[in-house]
Amino acid sequence: MLERQEQISQTIVTAQQMRDIEARIFAAGMPVAALMEKVAGLIFRRVQALYPNLQTQSVGILTGPGHNGGDALVVARELHFCGYDVKIYSSFSKLKELTSQHLQYAQSLGIPCYESIEQLSDCDLLIDGLFGFGLERTLTSAIAQAINQINSWSKPVVSIDLPSGLHTDTGEVLGTAIRATHTFCLGLWKLGLLQDHALEYVGKAELIDFDIPLADVQAVVGTNRIHRITQTTALSTLPLPRPAVTHKYKEGHLLLICGSRRYSGGAILTGLGARVSGVGMLSIAVPESLKPLLVAQLPEALIIGCPETQTGAIASLQLPENTDLSSFNAIAIGPGLTRDATPIVQQVLSSDRPLILDADGLNILAQMGTIPTLQKRQAVTILTPHAGEFKRLFPDLPDPMKDRVRAVREAAAQSGAIVLLKGARTAIANSQNSVWINPESTPALARGGSGDVLTGLLSGLLAQAKSKDISVEKIVATAAWWHSQAAILAGGERTELGVDAFTLTNYFIPVLASAWKELN
């Protein structure tokens, strides 16, 4: 049972996939009416739990023409039977047969039904059943005006499946959309709810699991599914616990190449991120003038001072005696580097080591030509761009601000790299068409240096992954989850304004300890 719940919680579907899954359920003999009753009953109980004092107040039900409207009408009926003051808004002339039957019955019970949204202006709570998954047309005229009116009231709104007006797959606002307080996603997570530009409309989202058979999900989504990163999956891929007998080189040897005279902080923050990953041995190559500063901040690391250019960038790698790039389990390059270090990026791209590129590493790669350069690499490559860097890396691909999942999928497929696209909902893809989305984050991470910390954390985990036989894709997903959870914890204690990148590094171990305790 727990395994099923975890797989359902991880799965994200498109509108077409959800249609296909429901078609299998109905073809197997599940009556549509029975499923509607079950789903609406679950919604009704959640509304009662969230708003326990509503019985002396008024609830408005926003009813659309499809089965989403039918779900809302069953909720209206149950609220009415429990003594709630219920009002229905329904302005559509044509309804699906089952929805029409529920509306007829609700009216026979004496529940008032109105075509004007103004009649619901005195309601204390609104339940949005206007449109479910699959909406693709732009909302206009009377229904758009009604939604705008609802939003102007600033009342709590519970949306069924998705806030009405959002595109199921892209999260795009189709003219206008309900700004929900809570969204009850039905059965499986819909992709649009996890796209950045939908977040201000979704409110607090939760899954209403109505027991979709796992076999039907697997038959439709296959192995190349879109995954929602959960705490359980993240913890299962961390390189813990360690064996009783081990040593530092068995726990991964990482090389960071970062920093310049102009941007020394990037090297420090990347090193601090790597430190909290637990990597066994950390080497950091920086310009010679930065070496004392790095030694003071990271005394346990091997700081490699390198010759520098007149501008203070690394001029050439000067690794310790009997050491070359093949001595490391992973390499990360970019934070604080400046573009004057282009030859160094070219050198590490030619190596056979797992490689993470960030910041100026990405900018230099874009100048070199992202796709042809990466197609020559034989080892794992991970790119960690924000939207602006993504556009420079992949100027001919879809705009990541419009459809993050499609953009990151195509970038990974064409480059052969694993691409982590930063954002409010970080999206990760590999060249085999699998995608992971981090479902939680915080604006506290909108601070300079937060990305450097992520690069250090990810590269430290990657250096440990090879000896632990952990897939690289899952390591990348785990790093994104851990990074955001640390920021959420820090923001809860210090407010979002109090989480600078240096402070963030102090919250990785507490959040991990808390998660392990909860899991065990």
CB within 8 Å of 167: residues ≥ 6 apart: 135, 136, 173, 174, 192
Q: Is 134 a known ligand-binding residue?
A: yes
Q: Measuring CA to CA, which residue among 349, 355, 354, 339 is closest to residue 372?
A: 349
Structure tokens at 497: 């304004």
The Cα–Cα gap between 159 and 68 comes to 10
Enter the CATH code of domain 2-220: 3.40.50.10260
Q: Is 448 a known ligand-binding residue?
A: no
Give the pLDDT confidence score for residue 425 in this predicted structure. 96
pLDDT, one tens digit per residue, over 222-236 is 877 899 999 998 998
pLDDT, one tens digit per residue, over 268-303 is 999 999 999 999 999 999 999 999 999 999 999 999
Q: Where are the alpha helices (DSSP H) in 326-425?
A: 342-349, 360-368, 370-375, 387-393, 404-415
Q: Measuring CA to CA, which residue among 410, 499, 417, 446 is closest to residue 196?
A: 446
Question: CB-side exposure of 348: number of CA atoms within 13 Å?
Answer: 32
Q: Is 128 a known ligand-binding residue?
A: yes
Give the pLDDT confidence score for residue 1 in this predicted structure. 53
Q: Is 388 a known ligand-binding residue?
A: no
Q: Any bridge partners for residue 357, and if so which?
A: 333, 383
Q: Is 164 a known ligand-binding residue?
A: yes
Q: Is 136 a known ligand-binding residue?
A: yes
Domain with CATH 3.40.1190.20 in the chain: 232-519
Model-level pTM greater than 0.85? yes
N residues, the chain: 520
Those residues of the chain that have pLDDT short of 50 are: none
303 CB burial (10 A radius; 0-12, 13-18, 19+): buried
The Cα–Cα gap between 71 and 99 comes to 8
Give the pLDDT confidence score for residue 518 in this predicted structure. 82
Q: Is 386 a known ligand-binding residue?
A: yes
Give the pLDDT confidence score for residue 244 in this predicted structure. 86
Q: Is 452 a known ligand-binding residue?
A: yes
Q: Is 69 a known ligand-binding residue?
A: yes
Q: Is 138 a known ligand-binding residue?
A: yes
Q: Is 425 a known ligand-binding residue?
A: yes
Q: Is 133 a known ligand-binding residue?
A: yes
Give the pLDDT confidence score for residue 225 in this predicted structure. 85
Locus of tokens 């039904």? 113
Q: Is 461 a known ligand-binding residue?
A: no
Q: Is 500 a known ligand-binding residue?
A: no
**Which CATH architecture fits 232-519?**
3-Layer(aba) Sandwich (3.40)
Q: Is 426 a known ligand-binding residue?
A: yes
Domain with CATH 3.40.50.10260 in the chain: 2-220
Q: Is 460 a known ligand-binding residue?
A: no
Q: Is 336 a known ligand-binding residue?
A: yes
